[in-house]
């Protein structure tokens, strides 16, 4: 049964969805990486073989602005430059988990106390 479209997170919607998911997957599997390393890994994914470095760069920076990716460290490259390493934030891991399970399953798994905490967090945001 396909997931209803209205419950999908905005980071996994639209034109950028496949690249966002690939960036998340790359960072989740390999840990902190530079944009160059992310680009190299993303190009190995099916359907993303011809992805430009500039597109990955824009997406990583956009995800950083949204709070899904954060800068961790600056490392020196072989060419003598400095490159920033990025890693996923807790928000990104939560987004991946929420995207992989159905809302109904989540409601069936949590207990009353967790449900109250979620409700409290949602009322603060609203």
Domains and CATH numbers, the chain: 5-101 (1.10.10.10)
Closest CA to 1 of 88, 119, 105: 105
Question: pTM of the prediction?
Answer: 0.82
Whether the Cβ atoms of residue 24 and residue 88 lie closer than 8 Å to each other: yes
CA 114: distance to chain centroid?
Answer: 24
* Residue linked to tokens 């072989």: 78
pLDDT band at 4 (very low <50, low <70, confident <90, very high): low
| pLDDT tens digits along 24-72 | 999 999 999 999 999 999 999 999 999 999 999 999 999 999 999 999 9
CA 120: distance to chain centroid?
Answer: 25
Q: Which two tokens stand for residue 75?
A: 């490392």
* Residue linked to tokens 């109904």: 104
């Amino acid at each position: 049964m396909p997931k209803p479209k209205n419950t999908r997170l905005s980071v996994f919607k639209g034109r950028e969805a496949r690249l966002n998911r690939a960036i998340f997957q790359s960072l989740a599997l390999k840990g902190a990486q530079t944009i160059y390393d992310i680009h190299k890994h993303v190009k190995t994914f099916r359907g993303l073989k011809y992805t430009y470095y500039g597109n990955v760069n824009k997406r990583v920076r956009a995800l950083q602005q949204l709070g899904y990716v954060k800068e961790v460290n600056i490392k020196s490259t072989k060419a003598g430059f400095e490159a920033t390493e990025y890693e996923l934030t807790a928000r990104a891991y939560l987004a991946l988990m929420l995207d992989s399970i159905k809302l109904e399953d989540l409601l069936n798994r949590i207990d009353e106390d967790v449900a109250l905490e979620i409700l409290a967090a949602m009322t603060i945001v609203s």
